[in-house]
Chains A and B, each alone.
Chain A
Amino acid sequence: MDRIPILRIGDLLLVTVQVDMHDRLALALQDDLCLAICSRDTRGVLIDISALDVVDSFIGRVLADTSAMASILNAQVVVVGMRPAVAITLVELGMTLPHVTMALNVERGMDFLRNHNRSLDAPSESAGTLVPA
């Protein structure tokens, strides 16, 4: 069966969807991404959908589920490149993808992930400060 390739750049994964995905291909990508996230230290996943001219409720759900799965596996998904016509259609369809992080393009998505990772690496302020005795 066809597979969507997953590229690794350090602790980031990059997926560029360039074909009109049938349902099983989308589910295979979901599985492959989860496995790839766990195979090595992975902090972020960029999914570029700029080539997709249609995102229906099934693909939308796969994006939302993948994002949730990655989050449980401690990786942040950013979906980038959604076309305006796709966004308009998704909202009319009733699918607003509230829990999926979006960015305009790959570059913005990379920026987001870098900042996100930096804030994760920084000592948490809310955790309080240890005062030496």
Chain B
Amino acid sequence: MSPHDEPLVIPVATEMDITLVRQAVRQHATRLGFSLVDMTKLVTASSELARNAVKYGGGGSATLQVVRQGGRNGLTVTFEDSGPGILDVDAALRDGFTSGNGMGLGLGGARRLVNDFQLHTMVGVGTRVVVTRWL
């Protein structure tokens, strides 16, 4: 994927797809020249968010897009689901908060692992999380 490439959309329906998201992010981050630590952080954040989309959002998609800003490249991954949405965003971003059986580290943890983090959610409509790590 060069900076001009089309975004890559990966359906995220089952937990097996979480592995596919990890693979795709790993591949693209490596090709863009991310350091090992930065790549590991982005892949891990993507894994958490893909799992959220599967477990809480009833499935959705992950979209990978190479982005460029002020002469530097980055990788943006957008997670979208049409699940129940998040009622209390502040609580959901706090460590230890979970409505499932996880550790409650997913959302807040993912935010710490990336440079840019945007969360859009609407109850009854769905959730979109956009994360970017810059080179």
Contact A86 B112, CB 8 Å, known A23-B18, A58-B102, A95-B103: no
Q: Are A20 and B19 in contact (CB-based, < 8 A)? A: yes
The number of residue pairs between A and B whose CB atoms lie closer than 8 Å in the complex comes to 71
Tell me which of B15, B26, B43, B113 contacts A23 (CB under 8 A): B15
Is A88 interfacial (CB-CB < 8 Å)? yes
Residue of A nearest to B101 (CB): A61
Nearest A residue (CB) for B41: A89
Expressed in whole angstroms, the Cα–Cα distance for A94 and B39 within the complex equals 18
Bound complex: CA A23 to CA B48 (Å): 12
| 8 Å CB contact of B15 from A22, A54, A57 | A22
CB-based contact A22/B40 at 8 Å = no
Docked pose: A94 CA to B44 CA in angstroms: 12
Q: Of all chain B residues, which has the CB nearest A92?
A: B112
Total chain A interface residues with beta-carbon distance under 8 A = 22
Interface string of A89-133 (1 = CB under 8 A from B): 100111100000000000000000000000000000000000000
Determine which of A20, A57, A84 lies in contact with B106 in the assembled complex, contact meaning CB atoms within 8 Å: A57
Complex contact B40–A93 (CB within 8 A) = no
Asked if A56 is an interface residue, CB under 8 A from chain B, the answer is yes
What's the tally of chain B residues with a CB closer than 8 Å to chain A? 27
Query: Residues of A contacting B37 with CB < 8 Å?
Result: 84-85, 88-89
* Contact residue among B23, B36, B47 (Cβ-Cβ distance under 8 Å from A85): B36
Contact among B18, B43, B95 with A94 in the assembled complex (CB-CB below 8 Å): B95
A43-68 interface bits toward B, Cβ cutoff 8 Å, 1 = contact, 0 = none = 00000000001111110110000000
* B22 with A61: CB separation less than 8 A: no
Check if B108 is an interface residue, CB within 8 A of chain A.
yes
Contacts of A95 in B (CB 8 A): 103, 105, 109
Contacts of A54 in B (CB 8 A): 22, 26, 40, 43-44, 47
Known: A54-B40, A88-B41. 15 other contacts (CB 8 A): A23-B18, A23-B51, A53-B26, A53-B43, A54-B43, A56-B47, A56-B51, A61-B103, A83-B40, A84-B37, A85-B36, A85-B37, A85-B39, A86-B40, A93-B44
